[in-house]
Every structure is written in C-alpha cells, then in structure tokens.
Structure 1
Amino acid sequence: MLYTLSPPHHTHPINRTSNTRIRSCIKSHSSNVTNMRWADLKAAVGQRINVQGILFSVSVVTRNKHWMIPHVSVPDVTYIDWVALKTKGFEGVVFDKDNTLTVPYSLDLWGPLTASVESCKSVFGNNIAVFSNSAGLEEYDPDDRKAKAIEFAIGIQVIRHKMKKPAGSAEEVERHFGCDSSKLIMVGDRTFTDIVYGNRNGFLTILTAPLSVAEETFIVKQVRKIEQALLKWWLRKGLKPENARLLPDALDCVKEPPTI
C-alpha cells in the first residue's frame, strides 16, 4: 500500500503567511487595548490630581488672584440668558462637562438643564462645544472614544486639544469657533480650572455651582473647599475680574440675581 504524506500543516507557505498575519493582528489588537487601558488609567489619575492645575493655582494665589474671579456666578446654566449674550455680540459658548452639564463621570445631561441647553443651541446654533480635561484631551482620549460618546449622548461637539485647563492658550478653541476668545463664553463649575483658563485667555467667564459633589473624589472635594473659601475671601476684599469688553455689566446676562 502506497501512502502519500502531506506536508506538515505548519510548513505550508499559505498557512505560514496566514499565521504570521494572525499573530500580527493579535499583537496589534493587544497593543491597542494596552494603550487604551493606559490612557484610561492616566485619565482617572489626572482627574484626581491635576499637576498643571496645582502649578497654576500657586501662580493665582501669589500673583494673579483676579484670574480666579468669574465675571458672574449662577446656581446653574438655567439662570443664563443666552439671547442677551448673543445680542451683546458673543459668538460661541464653551462648556465644562462634569458638574456643569452632567453629574461627574456621567454621559447624560442633567435633566433640569435640558431646556436651557436646547435654548443655547437654538441661539448659538453649532457654535457651542464641550472643553473637558478628559474627553477630547489627546493624552487621555487618544482615539476620541470618550469625546464621541459625549457627542452622541448630549449632542454637543467636544473640542480636541492637547493641554488641560487651566494651562494652554485659547488657540485650539478659537480655531474651533473661528473667532477671537473675547467673543466666547466659558461656563464651568471650577474656579482653579475653568475660570482661571477662561480669564487668562480673555473669555467671558460664568461660574456655576456644582450639580452634585457626592460622586467627586476626596481630593477634588478638598480642592473645591479651598477654591470656594478663597473666592469668598477675595470677593469680600473687593477683588474683581478684568472687564469683559462685550459685556461691561455681567448681570445683563443673568435671568435672576446670582448668589455666591
């Protein structure tokens, strides 16, 4: 009886090429997963410890206290008169996300804000965006996964950028909107990040109270207490922000008198 032996499976040239491709795909997928997990880990740590924010905070406390003073403070965005701001000549609105539009780490717009956000969209059209210290940040969201999730959930575009607030210039934001920062509004709940960034770069700055502090980490809660204490102290001392060119009286954009 004659036996015909087939070449061993692993020596077949087609299979060898196929195996090489499979190994390459597995290696590439593994690398992508590792990079995504590393970005998520850095984002989680970065949201708890903002080194750039700490360095800028030192600068604020020692030399630039006025950076921390918002042009106006409101309980939440429902108090903002978007029509009045548009009438004054403002062309776009930049929102922080966590505790300004959503509770921390959530993708869902906080229910009571829906009507105001929809009003903002109707007034400013596509000229509204989210500027976050996690989603859209090149270091923490390299594949835009978080930015796209937010855009899908709340229908507001997320600005892609390279530096965390309060560091960085307004260049990326100005490029996004196609106008000078003096015609933009920065809305956020953190004075050391959102307000300092906005004031440094010539925005109109609006400070909101946090929607919920229950989900915040211990470090963030402590920093927030320091922010609030310093803000109250400096306001009692009469410290004021630099005038906003388009809105000399910031209360013109508030539906009800703000409380701090």
Structure 2
Amino acid sequence: MSQWWKKTLGQSLNSSGVSSFLNVAAREHHLALPHLSVPDFRWIDWSELERLGFRGVVLDKDNTLTAPYSFSLFPSLSGSLVQCQAVFPGKVAVFSNSAGLYQYDPDGSEARALEESIGGIHVIRHGLKKPAGSAEEIEKYFGCPASNLVMVGDRHFTDVVFGNRNGFLTILTEPLCLSMEPFVVKQVFILKKILSMYVFSI
C-alpha cells in the first residue's frame, strides 16, 4: 500500500474515533451533540461569540477549513475567516488530525505549509488524534481554559466529542467537499451518518 493511501486511510479511519463512537453510542450520547450546528463557518456570528465572552477560536482543517488533503483555504470561506481574525486577533488556531499531528506530520512541514497558505494562522502541534487527548496544548497556546474557547469542526465523533469532553463551546459544520475523498472513505462517511442518526434517536 502506498504511503499516500496509508496516510489517507489512517486519517479517515480513526481507531480512537471508532472507539469513541462505540463508547458514546453506548453510554454518553450527549458528548456527540454540538452546542450549535451550521452549514459552514460563514454562518457563525463571530462578534456575538466575542460579546458572550469567548476568547478564541479553534478550527478543524479537512472539510471545515479546506477541502480534504488540501492546504488551501476553501475559496468561499475567506471573508468569514478574515472577519473571525478581526474579532479574535491572534486568537485563532487550527487543531487537526492531519497537519500538525506528529503521527502524520512529524517534522511539521504540513503545518507550516498550511500556516503560510491561510495567512499565518497557527497550527497547534499535538500527539494524539481527536477525540483522544486533552486540551493542554490548546490551552497553553491560548493562555486560557478551554471553556473560554470555541471548537469548530465537521465531525460529531472527533471534533464535537473532543470539544465537549474538554469544555469548549462546540460548533458543527457540514463537510465542505466529499468529492475528493477515496471511495472507501466516502462509504465510511455514509456509515457514520447512518449510525449517528441511530444514536441521536435513542
């Protein structure tokens, strides 16, 4: 299997995410429920979040900020990202299961490429894939507890579960673009959606 396929499947078929799904499905349904749901982050009122006392924003990368495996900001999101940075100057960062994750980006080259592409927004380096791990690296970067921060991502069982476990305000977006995903990954998305509907109906 090529390195690209190993990386692609490793990022998408997240074993800790599967374990989290089973645990959440069995005992902790509430962790997968976001505080807010929007079509994409253009729908988020950044000024209102700042007015409510939040001090920073943490963004997922793939299918939230960029197309999958891309280092370029999804074109339609540029205006909202500029607005987010204006409301939270120096307090916007990316926390991803691809760029910045030591397992797939050991030398930080992908994190640096993403930072350059999205106007210097910091990519937080970390060792465990969401939803595993704590918010320690994030809190250290922002200098405040996770309860003062907003987590934005497109996956219930990684971004939302991680955010809720660690005390963030969680905002779920719809995936930006599934067309670039390999066939097997698309099937995983469909399966997760079906399973999510079952879990949330319990």
- Tell me if TM exceeds 0.5: yes
What is the rounded CA distance, in whole Å, between the counterparts of 2:185 and 2:105 in structure 1?
Answer: 21
Q: TM-score, normalised by structure 1?
A: 0.72
Q: Aligned residue for 2:175?
A: 210
Q: 1:186 aligns with which of 147, 151, 175?
A: 151
Q: Aligned residue for 1:46?
A: 10
Q: Aligned residue for 1:126?
A: 90
Question: How far does residue 49 in structure 1 lie from its aligned partner after superposition?
Answer: 2.0
Q: TM-score, normalised by structure 2?
A: 0.92
Q: Aligned residue for 1:108?
A: 72
Question: How far does residue 126 in structure 1 lie from its aligned partner after superposition?
Answer: 0.8
Does the aligned pair in 2 maintain the 1:69–1:231 contact within 8 Å? no
Question: How far does residue 236 in structure 1 lie from its aligned partner after superposition?
Answer: 5.1
Aligned length: 200
- Give per-residue Cα distances to partners, 1:61-85, cap 9 Å, x unaligned: 1111111111111001110000000
Does the aligned pair in 1 maintain the 2:151–2:168 contact within 8 Å? yes
Does the aligned pair in 2 maintain the 1:95–1:101 contact within 8 Å? yes
Q: 2:22 aligns with which of 53, 58, 69?
A: 58
Question: How far does residue 42 in structure 1 lie from its aligned partner after superposition?
Answer: 5.3
The aligned amino acid for 1:189 is D
- Give per-residue Cα distances to partners, 1:128-171, cap 9 Å, x unaligned: 11111011111221111000000000121100101000100111
Question: How far does residue 47 in structure 1 lie from its aligned partner after superposition?
Answer: 1.3
Rg (Cα) greater in structure = 1
Does the aligned pair in 1 maintain the 2:9–2:185 contact within 8 Å? no
- Give per-residue Cα distances to partners, 1:178-207, cap 9 Å, x unaligned: 110111111011111111111111111101
Query: Is residue 220 from structure 1 mapped to residue 185 from structure 2 by the alignment?
Result: yes
DSSP 3-state at the match of 1:149 = helix
